[in-house]
Amino acid sequence: MEYVTLGRTNLMVSRSSLGTKLLQDVSEADAVEILNTAYDGGINFFDTSSAYSDVEKKLGKAIYSKRKNVVISSGTKASLGKDAICDVENSLDNLNIDFIDIYHISSEEYLPIPGSDDGLYNEMLKFRRDGKIKFIGLTTHNISVANEAIESGLYDVVRYPINIFSSDEELELIKKAEKSDIGLSAIKTLCSGKIKNIPLAFGFLRQFENLVSVWGARNIDEINKLIYFESNPPTIDDKFKEELQELKISSN
């Protein structure tokens, strides 16, 4: 398992993060087994959300005895600070932890900043002062908002969809984040299921050393495949590049 420093947070995280959204569809026992398998395989970075039904409770149960060894990322889709307060407190209760390492604000239309009418960023600052969150993150699917978040310096980590089909402008976020010492997490790594070639998707993202990829798993086989690719990453040779180009062309 390879680890990377997540920007200025100085958190050492596995280059593959386990996203927990798919664990909504499995039992608590199966979810805990998947999470423990991921941890035993070297994954120490778990990405969740207050919006994922009972997932945070499942994650909380799995990490209870190993909290000091894992990094937890969660977030809110609230559009107002007063609603985000409830989400943060509920996440802390459900996860059964004292603090969340990275807490993300989700925003598609604009970048929440200190003093804005929504109150989102100001509430995150309060939680950070109280020690309930350590770092503030931003999740968006809007390239303009992502760029603004990186340039503003207000956010420690940015989550944005990055995969084989990403444009040059989107891939440029990776360089910008590295230059600004901002952590960058790639979500939608399989483009919402449109990408079926897992080794190709994994190898493509592996080229970017400062990028942390968020992968999903709904069973033991899927998490074991992720762990396998971590230990045996695809070779980026001429054949790999040809397959990558063919996939891009076929998608157009």
Phi, psi of 197 (to 5 degrees): -85, 90
Q: What's the pLDDT score for residue 242?
A: 82
Provide φ and ψ at 134, rounded to 5°: -95, -40
Report how far residue 129's alpha carbon sits from residue 67's, in angstroms, rounded to the nearest whole number. Answer: 21
Q: What is the dihedral of CA 123, 129, 132, 137, to 10 degrees?
A: 60
Q: Hey, what domains does the chain have and what are their CATH numbers?
A: 3-251 (3.20.20.100)
pLDDT at 31: 95
Predicted pLDDT at 246: 79
Give residue 252's pLDDT.
63
Query: Which portions of the chain are predicted below pLDDT 50?
Result: none
CB 93 within 8 A of CB 67: no
Q: What is the pLDDT of residues 136-193, one digit of tens each?
A: 999 999 999 999 999 999 999 999 999 988 999 999 999 999 999 999 999 998 877 7
Q: DSSP per residue over 93-133, as a string?
A: HHHT-S-EEEEEEE-SSS---TT-TT-HHHHHHHHHHTTSE
Beta strands in the chain (DSSP E): 3-5, 12-14, 16-19, 45-47, 71-76, 100-106, 133-139, 157-161, 183-187, 211-216
3-state secondary structure of 198: helix
Who contacts 233 (Cβ-Cβ below 8 Å, separation ≥6)? 202, 203, 206
What's residue 196's pLDDT?
78
